[in-house]
Amino acid sequence: MVTTSETPTGLSPTSPSGLQTRRPTLHDVAARAGVSKSLVSLALQGSPKVAPASREAILAAADELGYRPNRTASSLVRQRTHTIGVHILDLHNPVFAEILDGVQEAVRRNGYSTLLVTGNADPATERTEITRLLESRVEGLVLIAHRLSDEALSAIAREVPTVVVTWRTDGIAGLDSVAGDDVAGARLAVDHLVTLGHSRIAHVSGGDNRIALQRRAGYERAMADHALAPLVVDGAFTEQGGYVGAETAVGAGATALVVANDLAAIGALAALRARGLRVPDDVSVVGYDGMRLLDSLDLTTVAQPLAEMGRVAADLLIKRIDVPDTPSTHRRVETRLVARGSSGMAPTHARGRQAAEPWSSST
């Protein structure tokens, strides 16, 4: 198509490298197509009111100039960003990636897009990154785990619809949550090991965060219900945490480990290998979370429907964006034990021991 070229604006100016110096605007496109900026705006939004000929000319001009709409300007005037902010506690833990899958799926299905951000387990960067999301005027916030105080969290929830994935937020008004039942989940692990004849079942803890404490409580209650002596050793939600935790646990004579999460369970496995202990013949290991990778690693775990958690969270959030004044809902997802090769019968010499016998450092 031939455009009359008495319009002042030619092709976009380029620097020697070919990198554009000034980005073309609606105005430039309008000048090149010989119409007003309003019509260009209309045409690019696909309005049916634009005459076919004009539309064609505008699209051609935009293409020739390499026009790229400016989202910041658009969302400023529209007062909408159609964007959901997502904070991930730790990108190194594949569990969070799996939750994110579900979030993205639901967010996109609802016509929003996501802005992803991570504090990498550092509370200070976590704060600044979330602040950044709020300043970018995201319309909702998904927190895939976080380290905020209850006050900080509720302040945020007052500002923008928010949903927390991974733990319940009962006390705090105006925000939703999606989580599994960590107490019941830890009990599943203990029950499973008891069924296999274990009594010296130790728990490698995940530190003193909320989730870790819940799982620990579940372990302790289950042990008490089975009239077994509990042993909790310090660990963390990382491979290293699992490694050192497993070392002290087997040092104390444990034949089975309930590890705080999958990543730590992988670390525990490494510690056992380093000690020359076989899994599950000498020691059984059960993880927590249910990340996909564990299938390949043949690790027994307490599994949560991760992608579904993300999906449910995003759906709750979008509902809350549409109807801001809904009471908080806290969704509980089903937790189940997935038995794999890392858990087996207790070693014969350790089986059938007296239940509440105190722990000693025998091997």
Partner DNA sequence: CGCCTGAGTTGGAACGTTCCAATTCCGAGG
Partner DNA sequence: CCTCGGAATTGGAACGTTCCAACTCAGGCG
For the CB of residue 359, give the shortest distance to a copy of itself in the complex, in Å.
26
Q: Is 290 left (phi over 0), alpha (psi -120 to 50) or beta?
A: left
Closest to 299 in 3D by CA, of 272, 334, 274? 272
Strand ranges in 126-267 using DSSP code E only, listed in sequence order: 140-144, 162-165, 176-180, 201-204, 231-233, 256-259
- 109 touching a copy of itself, by CB under 8 A: no
For the CB of residue 342, give the shortest distance to a copy of itself in the complex, in Å.
11
For the CB of residue 140, give the shortest distance to a copy of itself in the complex, in Å.
11
Partner touching 251 among a copy of itself, DNA, none, CB below 5 to 8 Å by kind: none
Interface ranges with DNA (CB under 7 A):
22-23, 25-27, 35-39, 41-42, 44-45, 48-51, 53-54, 67-70, 73-74, 76-79
Backbone dihedral angles phi then psi of residue 294, each to the nearest 5 degrees: -65, -25
CA 46 vs. chain centroid, Å, equals 36
- 305 touching a copy of itself, by CB under 8 A: no
CA 264 vs. chain centroid, Å, equals 17
- 104 touching a copy of itself, by CB under 8 A: yes
DSSP per-residue letters across 60-116: HHHHHHT----HHHHHHHHT---EEEEEES-TTSHHHHHHHHHHHHHHHHTT-EEEE
Whether the upstream peptide bond of residue 8 has omega within 30° of 0, thus cis, is no
For the CB of residue 110, give the shortest distance to DNA in the complex, in Å.
19
Of the candidates 135, 170, 348, 360, which one interacts with a copy of itself according to CB under 8 A?
135
Integer Cα distance of 261 and 154 in angstroms: 27
Q: Are the C-beta atoms of residues 256 and 286 closer than 8 Å to each other?
A: yes
User: Could you tell me which stretch among 49-57, 182-190, 220-228, 293-301 binds a copy of itself (CB under 8 A)?
Assistant: 293-301
Partner touching 54 among DNA, a copy of itself, none, CB below 5 to 8 Å by kind: DNA
Q: Are the C-beta atoms of residues 162 and 84 closer than 8 Å to each other?
A: no
Closest to 118 in 3D by CA, of 89, 152, 94, 145? 89
- What the block records as the tokens of 21 is 């110096």
- 45 touching a copy of itself, by CB under 8 A: no
Closest to 346 in 3D by CA, of 200, 201, 198, 229? 198
Could you say which residues in the range 139-158 bind a copy of itself, by CB under 8 A? 158
Partner touching 218 among DNA, a copy of itself, none, CB below 5 to 8 Å by kind: none
Integer Cα distance of 272 and 245 in angstroms: 11
Partner touching 17 among a copy of itself, DNA, none, CB below 5 to 8 Å by kind: a copy of itself
Per-residue contact track with a copy of itself, 157 to 186, x per CB under 8 A? -xx-x-----------xx------------
For the CB of residue 31, give the shortest distance to DNA in the complex, in Å.
11
- 213 touching a copy of itself, by CB under 8 A: no
User: Could you tell me which stretch among 25-33, 57-65, 213-221, 268-276 binds a copy of itself (CB under 8 A)?
Assistant: 268-276
Taking the least distance from each CB to a copy of itself, the nearer of 137 and 330 is 137
- 44 touching a copy of itself, by CB under 8 A: no
- 71 touching a copy of itself, by CB under 8 A: yes
CA 219 vs. chain centroid, Å, equals 24
Number of residues that bind a copy of itself (CB under 8 A): 62
Q: Exposed/middle/buried for 343, CB within 10 Å: 0-12, 13-18, 19+?
A: buried
Positions that interact with a copy of itself (CB under 8 A): 15-20, 23, 66, 68-73, 75-76, 81, 91-92, 94, 97-98, 100-101, 104, 108, 113-118, 120, 125, 128-129, 132, 134-137, 158-159, 161, 173-174, 239, 243, 266-267, 269-270, 273, 292-293, 295-298, 324-325, 341
